[in-house]
Amino acid sequence: MGKARHAAKLPLALIPKPKPRPHAASPSTPPAPPPARPPANPAKLRKKPHGTSKRSTALPPADAAAPAVQEERKPIRTPADLAAAIRAAADADVDAAAALALSAPPDVPLPTHSLALLLRRLATTRSVFAARGLLDKLHPAGEDDGAPRPNPAPRGALLALADAVCHRGGPREISGVLPVLRDHGVRADAHLYNALMKAHVAADDPGAVLRVFRQMRSDGVDPDLVTYNTLIFGLARAGMVAKARAFLDAMAAEGHLPDVITYTSLMNGMCVQGDALGALKLLEEMEAKGCQPNERTYNTLLMGLCKNKKLDKAVEVYKSMVAVGMKLESPAYASYVRALCRSGSVADAYEVFDYAIQTKSFTEPIFLVAHELNMGLCNHKKLDKAVEVYKSVEVAVMKLESSAYASFVRVLCRSGSVAGAYEVFDYAIQTKSFTEVTAYSELENSIKWLRKMKS
């Protein structure tokens, strides 16, 4: 056997081709792209934790403002610093704001407006006694009992406390302000006494109203027109008409001329006590002295005359109101229509209702007036007018009371308008004016009566 020839000396066609590797690209596939260059700053391609936003990973700039907590811990060196700290803390925690005022350096005085803010917040969120406790710590009393305080609280802050309590406090809270003002040498004004009297009037305590008035006089505070109006209203409301009338004469003697509120308050008390004719005379006296009555005066007088069965005088008052273009309130209309219907003047009652609809006098739902009128028309067999009133109620999407529905359904059935009665029945159920059992029972009884009459 001879030697094998060297591969280099073999012809090219006889040189074995190398087998392609399994992962090598075939000649038909395009060349792979060059490998990507490594980023210049690998830190930018770090994966962010899941759920974190882009802002949370960014570092704050060097000149960024400090957090709010650090601002609160800023040392207090000036009154402006103290005022800003109290303002920031008072919205969240008034006790923390009060602690700032108590822990302030001795050489940093508490601004008056900051003290007023603390007193108002303590009085409205805690009590007057909490505000008084803060005042006692900031402005303690002297060693001698009864002696004036060596460092009383500023008058402006105390008046701010009194004003806040007057707007939101009751009799006990307002009464607690008086000794606080007195301890710091500030005399209460008429505004504070008036607020205290109004609180007692709201609590139906006329005796307390009189005591406050006497205390006001003894403290050297002159009453004003608001004082007398509040006093007369509270006394007349409680039925003490004679005392209220005496104060009306006294205020005129002191130079405080009674106004329309004074006269109307006294008229209301007289009507409640059954003296509607006396209230009518007071109206004449009022007009003679140059004080013109308003709509509230006429409404009060008209209701009093109707309730005291003085219908002839009520008609005169109503005509006077119509002549000058005044409007009645819904309770006054209801009282007047009721009185007219019960006296048999159903036609006049319908005219009153029609006038009220035309002039849009009703500022409240008209169901009170419509109920009274519909009942009266049904009882006096004025079915055509009752239907018109009911249509007005239906157009206004109002409701009648159960008794008015029952009367209307009964009259419709007895007149043969059973279909109309069913429509009223459906409307009452849809508007949930009364229970379905009551409505159905009334309608069924009316239909039974109709069948009985036809048989």
| 454: containing domain | 399-455
Instruction: Give the position of tokens 């106004």.
Output: 259
Domain's final residue, options 162, 188, 214:
188
Q: How confident is the model at residue 383 (pLDDT cuts 50, 70, 90)?
A: low
Angle at the Cα of 269 (from 263 to 272), degrees rounded to 5? 140
**pLDDT above 60 (res 330):** yes
Secondary structure element (H or E) that encloses residue 390, with its range: helix 383-395
The pLDDT of residue 365 is 45
Q: How confident is the model at residue 99 (pLDDT cuts 50, 70, 90)?
A: very high
> What's the predicted TM-score (pTM) here?
0.64
Cβ count within 10 A of residue 83? 19
State both tokens at 201: 């009037």
Q: Could you tell me if residue 51 is inside a domain?
A: no
Q: Could you tell me if residue 366 is inside a domain?
A: no
Domains identified in the chain, total number: 2
The pLDDT of residue 165 is 85
Q: Could you tell me if residue 432 is inside a domain?
A: yes
Cβ count within 10 A of residue 433? 19
Q: Are 119 and 160 in contact (CB under 8 A)?
A: yes
Residue of higher predicted confidence among 265 and 19: 265
User: Per-residue pLDDT tens for 197-240?
Assistant: 999 999 899 999 999 999 999 989 999 999 999 999 999 999 99
User: Per-residue pLDDT tens for 335-373?
Assistant: 888 888 778 787 787 788 777 777 766 544 444 455 555
The pLDDT of residue 56 is 42
Domain's final residue, options 188, 218, 247:
188
Q: Could you tell me if residue 451 is inside a domain?
A: yes
User: Per-residue pLDDT tens for 420-440?
Assistant: 776 777 776 676 665 556 555
Q: Could you tell me if residue 329 is inside a domain?
A: no
Q: Could you tell me if residue 128 is inside a domain?
A: yes
User: Per-residue pLDDT tens for 123-147?
Assistant: 888 888 899 899 989 988 766 666 6
Q: In which region does residue 344 sit, left (phi positive, over 0), alpha (psi from -120 to 50) or beta (all else)?
A: left
Q: Could you tell me if residue 34 is inside a domain?
A: no
